[in-house]
Amino acid sequence: MKVAFWPGCVSKGACPELYVAMQKIAPVLGLELMELYEAPCTGAGVLSEQNPELAYSLNALTLAMAEQMGADLMTICSTCQGVLSGAQYHLTRDEALRERVNRTLADSGFQYRGTARVKHLLWLLVEDVGLDRVAGLVKRRLSGLRVAPFYGCYILRPEEHLGLREKPERATYLEKIIELVGATPVEYHGKSKCCGFPMLTFNREVSLKMAGKHLLEAKSKGADVLVTPCPLCHLNLDGQQPDAARVVKEPIGTPIFHLPQLLGLAFGFEPAELRLNHHVVNTRLALEKVELKV
Partner 1 sequence: MKWTIEVGRYDRTAGDGRGEVRSYPPPYENAPQRRYQTFEVDLPDHAMVLDALIAIREYQDESLVVRCACRSAICGSCGMWINGAARLACITKLREVARDGKVTVEAPPSMPVVRDLVWDMTPFWQKNRAVLPWLENKEPVPQGEEYRVPNAAMENLIQEVSCISCGVCVMDCESFAVNPDFLGPAALAKAYRYVADPRDAKTHERLGRYSQPNGVWDCTHCYECVAKCPKGVAPMEQILKIRKLAVEAGYRNNSGTRHAVAFAESVAHSGRLNELTLMPKSFGLFNIRAQLQSLPAAFNMLRAGKLPPLLHPKVPHVERIKAIFKKVGGMFSS
By CB under 8 A, name the binding residues for partner 1. 9-10, 12-17, 37-41, 43-47, 49-54, 57-58, 61, 104-105, 107-108, 110, 153-154, 157-159, 188-190, 193-194, 196, 198-199, 201-204, 206-207, 209-210, 212-214, 216-217, 220-221, 239-240, 242-243, 248, 275, 278-280
- Our CB check for partner 1 shows the closer of 123 and 154 to be 154
Q: What strand order describes the sheet that includes 256-258?
A: 184-185, 146-149, 225-228, 256-258
Cβ–Cβ under 8 Å, residues 225 and 218: no
Least gap, CB of 77 to partner 1 (angstroms): 11
Euclidean distance between CA atoms 189 and 204, whole angstroms: 23
Q: How far is the CB of 32 from partner 1 (least distance, A)?
A: 20
Of 47 and 266, which CB lies nearer to partner 1 in the complex structure? 47
Is-contact 29 137, C-beta < 8 A?
yes
Closest to partner 1 by CB, 138 vs 280, is: 280
160, HSE (Cβ side, Cα atoms, 13 Å): 3
In whole angstroms, the minimum distance from the beta carbon of 144 to partner 1 comes to: 23
C-beta closer to partner 1: residue 10 or 174: 10
Q: How far is the CB of 275 from partner 1 (least distance, A)?
A: 8
User: Smaller CB distance to partner 1: residue 50 or 132?
Assistant: 50
DSSP conformation letters of 195-216: -SGGGTTT-HHHHHHHHHHHHH
CB of 219 to partner 1, least distance (A): 9
What ranges make up the beta strands (E) of the chain? 2-6, 32-35, 72-75, 118-120, 146-149, 184-185, 225-228, 256-258
Is the Cβ of residue 34 or residue 137 nearer to partner 1 in the bound state?
A: 34
Counts for the chain of helices (H) and strands (E), in that order: 14, 8
* Nearest-approach distance from CB 161 to partner 1, in angstroms: 9
Q: 29 vs 186, which CB is nearer to partner 1?
A: 186
**3-state secondary structure at position 114:** coil
Query: 3-state DSSP call for residue 272?
Result: helix
Name the minimum Å distance from CB 133 to partner 1.
30
Our CB check for partner 1 shows the closer of 15 and 126 to be 15
Q: Nearest distance from residue 139's CB to partner 1, in Å?
A: 27
**DSSP designation for 191:** G
CA–chain centroid gap for 16, Å, is 13
Closest listed residue to residue 135, CA positions, set 177, 103, 170 = 177
How far are the Cα atoms of 179, 237, 263 from residue 228, in angstroms, in the given order? 15, 10, 12
